[in-house]
Structure 1
Amino acid sequence: MRLNEIRDNEGATKNRMRVGRGIGSGKGKTGGRGVKGQKARAGVSIKGFEGGQMPLHRRLPKRGFNPPNRKDLNEVNLGRIQTAVDAGKLDASAPVTVETLVAAGVLAKPRDGVKILGAGELTAKLTFQVAGASKSALEAIERAGGSVTVLGGDAEAAA
């Protein structure tokens, strides 16, 4: 075998279609564009065109950046958790998780996790296993003698 004998496999390549080269080519005259109208002309791009009416994508307002994979977290204040502990619905010795908060009636449904916020007073010593906590909540929990474990990520991203 020599370099000048190298060929591609039979049927692996096709000749490009030469449009507008006579009626015998099968793509002559209109060159596969149909007849007349804006779309038959060269250099036309009509994505989202509505016949002159303001297109739908321009009628609607722009609404910021919405990340497609963001987490839908429950937010709970420390005061609400302390109320549940005082009422006896939440066990202070067991770790506080999404499941225990739903069972105690603090949350309606688990969603993608829970983030603890710092509003309210916390006196009970609690161990939290949550998706996130604000800085003020972390300080208040540590002041009460408790601890926070952030699930599925680092503490800085959650805070």
Structure 2
Amino acid sequence: MIPLTITSPTEAALWPEDLRRTAFLLDTTEEGCSGAGWAQSEHLASANLLSPVTPVTKTSFSLVGVSDGGSVSAAGALRRHGSSCACCVGRPVLVDRLLSLIQERARGRCAFFRHIALVVSPGQQCGVAQGLEISPFLENMFSLKVEQ
């Protein structure tokens, strides 16, 4: 299981350099965190992180071509399951991004990381942790920790 630490911008800034070099920084705060020293960093819009996505989004878990209604493109474009697939429809934005990170890591499409630092506003830490703990998609992939 990959360690997933839910942290605040202040706590993320205190992470030791050796841990940063092997961690993926996923920042959801409006002010943004510095990506300096991290294996890789990304900013994810924080609005409704755990609300279900109503449209089916492009993910790296896919079987159906996104643009052509079902055929698989030779270019290797991102694909998704059909429009009624239970694992694609209604999946929260954060869960969707975490799952696609696992796929990108496995396929070598991003820097290899050993840890994920999920940066949220201090008031959101417990709520985000609870939302991720109940996700059936993530239960066997991450070990959650909340930094206080």
* TM-score under structure 2 length normalisation: 0.28
- Which structure shows the higher strand fraction? 2
* TM-score under structure 1 length normalisation: 0.27
Q: Which has the larger radius of gyration?
A: 1
